[in-house]
Amino acid sequence: MKKYLLSCLALVVFLVGCATSTKPGQVGISRSQMFLVSQAEMDKGAALAYTQVLKKASSKRKLNTDPVATKRVQRISRSLIPQVVTFREDALKWDWQVNVIDDKTINAWCMPGGKIVFYTGIIDTLKLTDAEIAAIMGHEMAHALREHSREKASRDQLKNIGILAVSVATGSNELANLANMAATYTIALPFSRAQEIEADIMGAELMARGGYNPEAAINVWKKMSKASKNQPAEFMSTHPSHENRIAKLTEVSRKVMPLYEKSKKI
């Protein structure tokens, strides 16, 4: 019986694992992904979780309180969002939202379905240029395009430890658990090294197509390296080293530089 169950499990992994959420683009993303959690569930949870984040920030008078920063980030997003068709055409129809929260956190993220938040901490601490904001935004958008949160949730679901698996066992509120799932797998838990590298590479192409010099992505990680010397061991165990990211982005920036040059002529 045990061998039979293992065989069934292997068959499920094979059937759902031979898929990829995006087209390869010029950077050639083609890794197969496993999805057990549905896109509808993840998007529904993300929409609710995002609303909750914004309401909380608004109640503390932290939402879009800097009109200059907010307009700046939203203006950059308008250059990048049209480029998502390179990787998936349906993403152009997503309900993209971009907001800035006044918080010292050095972070930004994009929930499934195109729900973006930038914290003033990352803009101010790293003294980001427009191109560097575009690099970070492209990276976060790539996580959403590749459905990395859904992929992580699916891997835990397979091991029967995911939030949805636990919610079924406990009979807890479905909608609340969907929101918790989206927030947990987008914000709280780290992405894998493979997912981070994919986001770096795709983000470089998105920003180049959007008219921003992809070499700015290299500068971001040089700044991040200086700002995060005391990064916890847990973070370093799941993320590529700053040196490896810089080396990879140096290689990728050369590859997508013609896209940037072309965008300047349009």
Q: Following DSSP, what letter does each residue of 119-187 receive, concatenated? A: EHHHHHHTT--HHHHHHHHHHHHHHHHTTHHHHHHHHHHHTT-SHHHHHHHHT--HHHHHHHHHHIIII
pLDDT at 14 over 50: no
Of 41, 140, 147, 205, the catalytic one is 140
What distance in Å separates the CA atoms of residue 221 and residue 228, rounded to the nearest whole number? 10
Max alpha carbon distance in the chain (Å)?
A: 64
Average pLDDT value for residue range 250-260: 97
Average pLDDT value for residue range 66-70: 97
Residue 17 placed within a domain: no
- Using 50, 70 and 90 to split pLDDT, how confident is the model at 239? low
- Using 50, 70 and 90 to split pLDDT, how confident is the model at 236? very low
Pick the residue with more confidence: 266 or 100?
A: 100
Q: Could you tell me which residues are beta bridge partners of residue 118?
A: 100, 108
243 is catalytic: no
pLDDT in the model for residue 212: 98
Residue 220 placed within a domain: yes
Average pLDDT, the chain: 88
Name the residue with tokens 């066992």: 169
- Using 50, 70 and 90 to split pLDDT, how confident is the model at 170? very low
Residue 26 placed within a domain: no
Residue 169 placed within a domain: no
pLDDT in the model for residue 2: 41
Supply the range of the domain harboring residue 118.
38-158+175-264
pLDDT in the model for residue 160: 66
80-94, 168-182, 215-229, 240-254, range with the lowest pLDDT: 168-182
N-terminal to C-terminal alpha carbon distance within the chain:
63
19-28, 66-75, 229-238, 247-256, range with the lowest pLDDT: 229-238
pLDDT at 165 over 90: no
Tokens found for residue 209: 């197509």
Whole-structure pTM value: 0.88
pLDDT in the model for residue 164: 54
Residue 31 placed within a domain: no
pLDDT in the model for residue 70: 98
pLDDT in the model for residue 129: 98
8 A C-beta contact, residue 227 and residue 125: yes
Residue 7 placed within a domain: no
Percent of the chain with pLDDT over 70: 84
- Burial category of 232 from C-beta neighbours within 10 Å (exposed 0-12, middle 13-18, buried 19 and up): exposed
What's the number of domains the chain is made of? 1
Residue 209 placed within a domain: yes
Residue 60 placed within a domain: yes
